Amino acid sequence: MLNKIAIRRFTYIAGLVVTLASISLAQKPSAAYPLGPDSLKQDGVPTGKVTKHQWSSSKVFEGTERDYWVYVPAQYDGSEPACVMVFQDGQGYVSEDGHSRVPTVFDNLIHQKAMPVTIGIFINPGVFPSIDGKKPRSNRSFEYDSLGDTYTRFLLEEMLPEVGKQYKLTDKAEGRAIAGISSGGICAFTVVWERPDAFSKVISYVGSFTNIRGGHVYHALIRKTEKKPIRIFLQDGDNDLDNLHGNWPLANREMAAALKFSGYDYRFEMGTEGHNAKHGAAILPEMLRWTWRDYPGVKAADAKGAK
């Protein structure tokens, strides 16, 4: 019996590694969910700047190192603090050939005033570097799937202050958003759940609200906890994962039902894709419009998709 369980777990872990690799690298758009014009470069739209950095001085996740990227819109002039949006598994979101092409989407929507001037911070999960010839060890599941405020502290005590050394970033919750895919999606939700005073907006692609490290409790907690001042956009697909940790489509439906019951400002989009970013990437501009729809300076006419 134990051998069968061990085999099942090994098989799942091996499959999960492949799945995460496919999510984080370039991904061809789906025929069912093509990228729209807001995800493509447009003539006459100012282009923001993306720079790559490395962080290896973490005290919260001691011993890890990671790459991260910072997007600064052309409209940022440093005269006042910019809004901030953080992305987990950052490389997949920031790369020109990545699944969501966020810098291009930001360029277009900021130019349209469909979202505020926003600095994007795209963070890869931590890695313990190679020792004695062994392969580097990822800290992704511990950072992303764990409940509690550890990852939130990592952002608030380390990453935001580091980026803030060069750019003026808002410290107001209503000007901070966070997004992620899969385990990065539940991580994004955990951040706003733990610190709604610091982050107020979350976008989740195919979020892992399952029992990898206890995340399956969220839908029950939402129902029994006083409503928090947060806004949530969930996306999932009917063909998402079903394994020993849980059923992803069911878990996301449970989250949406709990958010509705508790009166949250939320949206839930269920598509037909599996555990990938194809649907999420296609509707990202709509997600962002809805997320930032009532922020000061955003054009109300562009705030599509109200619930």
CATH number for the domain spanning 123: value is 3.40.50.1820
Contact 80, 168 (CB under 8 A): yes
Q: Report how many domains make up the chain.
A: 1
pTM above threshold 0.85: yes
**307 in a domain, yes or no?**
no
pLDDT category of residue 16 using cuts at 50, 70 and 90: low
Q: Residue 307: its pLDDT value, please?
A: 40
What whole-number distance in Å separates Cα of residue 307 and Cα of residue 303?
Answer: 11
111 found inside a domain = yes
Share of the chain above pLDDT 70, in %: 89
The residues facing 70 across adjacent strands are: 51, 121
- Considering the chain, what is the average pLDDT of its residues? 92
pLDDT at 131 > cutoff 90: no
What pLDDT shows up at residue 103?
98
**Does position 303 have pLDDT exceeding 70, yes or no?**
no
28 against 160, higher pLDDT: 160
Q: How confident is the model at residue 20 (pLDDT cuts 50, 70, 90)?
A: low
Which two tokens mark 275? 């555990």
Given a cut of 50, whether residue 77 has pLDDT beyond it is yes
Q: Which domain holds residue 273?
A: 2-302
| Res 11: pLDDT | 41
| Chain-centroid distance, C-alpha 41 | 22
Neighbours of 100 (CB within 10 A): 26
How many CA atoms are closer than 13 Å to the CA of 284, on its beta-carbon side? 31
CB atoms within 10 A of CB 30: 18
Q: What is the DSSP string of 53-121?
A: EEE---STTTT-BEEEEEEE-TT--SSSPBEEEEEESHHHHHSTTSSS-HHHHHHHHHHHTSS--EEEE
* Position 22 pLDDT exceeds 70: no
Report pLDDT for 168. Answer: 98
Q: How many CA atoms lie within 13 A of 34 on its CB side?
A: 4
Say how many residues make up the chain: 307
Per-residue pLDDT for 14 more than 80? no
The confidence band for 301, taking pLDDT boundaries of 50, 70 and 90, is: low
Residue 180 and residue 187 in contact, taking contact as beta carbons nearer than 8 Å: yes
pLDDT at site 133: 80
What tokens were used for 64? 């890890």
Confidence of residue 18 (pLDDT cuts 50, 70, 90): very low
Pairing of strands 127-128, 49-55: unpaired
pLDDT digits (tens, 9 = 90+) for 264-277: 999 999 999 999 99
- What is the band of 281 on the pLDDT scale with cuts at 50, 70, 90? very high
pLDDT at 12: 46
Q: Is residue 139 part of a domain?
A: yes
User: Which comes out higher in pLDDT, residue 183 or 29?
Assistant: 183
Q: Kindly report, residue by residue over 174-207, the tens digit of the pLDDT.
A: 999 999 999 999 999 999 999 999 999 999 999 9
Radius of gyration of the chain (CA): 19
90-99, 127-136, 153-162, 182-191: which has the minimum mean pLDDT?
127-136
With respect to residue 182, please indicate whether it lies within any of the assigned structural domains: yes
Predicted confidence at residue 305, as pLDDT, reads: 42
Residues near 272 by Cβ (< 8 Å), separated by ≥ 6? Answer: 32, 237, 238, 239, 279
pLDDT at 141 over 70: yes
What are the C-alpha distances in Å from 85 to residues 70, 81, 173, 179?
10, 13, 11, 8
Secondary structure string (H, E, C) spanning 116-182:
CCEEEEEECCCEECCCCCCCCEECHHHHHHCCCCHHHHHHHHHHHHHHHCCCCECCCHHHEEEEEEC
Whole-number pLDDT of residue 23: 57
- pLDDT band of residue 132 (cuts 50, 70, 90) is confident
